[in-house]
Amino acid sequence: MSDLISLQRRARDGEKLAMLTCYDASFAARVEAAGIDAILVGDSLGMVIQGQTSTLPVSLDEMAYHTAAVARGARHSFIIADLPFGSYQQHPAQALQSATRLLAAGAHCVKLEGGAIMAETVAFLTARGIPVCCHIGLQPQSVNATGGYRVQGRAHDAAQQLISDAVQLDQCGAGMIVLEAIPAPLASQITARTTAPTIGIGAGPDCSGQVLVLYDALGITPGKPPRFAQNFMTDGCDLDMALAAYVRAVKQGDFPTTAHSFGTTAT
């Protein structure tokens, strides 16, 4: 069974951490068997399971339901569950109540979106024994405020703000920090400045680890795949081979490459 302390130690020792999202027991068992380091029960389930256009409609009840299913399928994995939109932003006590639901459902850690504004909540939860994975950069729950799913942190001031957010969250006890859709050099700087492992998705090759939406890794997400995704279900590959190929590629530093990454200017 992986735990946060051993994952942090392995990242510090230079091992790349491989994470995938998962939403049900059957896939969870196969993802665990592939040797994944951590499973994220992401609120991306709103899009890939429910067919919604954003993660915003996902409820805490739904997150608890899917977390429990994943926990039944992957009994030895470190499971992170997303706190859904509206379940934690009001005040730290609200976040504690919501996190309690997800830990009772089988999660070992909760993930929340937001920079320095969430620092107090991160400190509040960690002081009460709840590991927290932070999520900065592109924050899908804020899509209405950021004008769509866009790369973040390209302008100098925005980059400095992200560095400052990451440092504050780190100091407040963040267990891991997901960096979504930010320029690779910025992710590299943030990784060098934080003790918590950084987990990239569209953040270049220099993060401590990588996460992908499972359905993107299997090439079954409808529509054009995001630039940072790769379909590991190639010709002649079955599910177990594809999952193992993802874990291997992350561990060996073969995924992501600069082709999956964003620069400081739009290309």
Smaller CB distance to ligand KIV: residue 170 or 180? 180
Q: What is the DSSP letter of 198?
A: E
- In the complex, the smallest distance separating the C-beta of residue 135 from ligand KIV, rounded to whole angstroms, is 6
Three-state DSSP state, 77: coil
Which class for 248: exposed (0-12), middle (13-18), buried (19 or more C-beta within 10 A)? Answer: middle
Is the CB of residue 122 less than 8 Å from the CB of residue 128?
no
Is the CB of residue 60 less than 8 Å from the CB of residue 85?
no
Smaller CB distance to ligand KIV: residue 40 or 68? 40
178 binds ligand KIV (CB under 6 A): yes
Here's the x/- map for ligand KIV, 194-233, by CB under 6 A: it reads as: -------x---------x-x--------------------
- In the complex, the smallest distance separating the C-beta of residue 217 from ligand KIV, rounded to whole angstroms, is 11
Q: Residue 113 catalytic?
A: no
Q: Which of 152, 91, 84, 92 is nearest to 113 (CA)?
A: 84
Which positions ≥6 away from 197 have C-beta within 8 Å? 7, 8, 11, 12, 17, 176, 177, 207, 208, 209
- In the complex, the smallest distance separating the C-beta of residue 149 from ligand KIV, rounded to whole angstroms, is 10
Q: Which stretch binds ligand KIV (CB under 6 A): 37-45, 94-102, 116-124, 241-249?
A: 37-45
Residue nearest to ligand KIV (CB): 42
CA distance 120 to 125: 9
Is the CB of residue 138 less than 8 Å from the CB of residue 162?
no
Smaller CB distance to ligand KIV: residue 32 or 43? 43
Torsion sign (Cα): 172, 176, 181, 186: positive
Q: Which stretch binds ligand KIV (CB under 6 A): 39-47, 89-97, 125-133, 240-248?
A: 39-47
Residues 107-166 contacting ligand KIV, CB under 6 A: 135
Smaller CB distance to ligand KIV: residue 130 or 176? 176
Active-site residues, by number, are 180
Residues lying near ligand KIV in the complex (CB under 6 A) are found at 21, 40, 42-44, 82, 135, 178, 180, 201, 211, 213
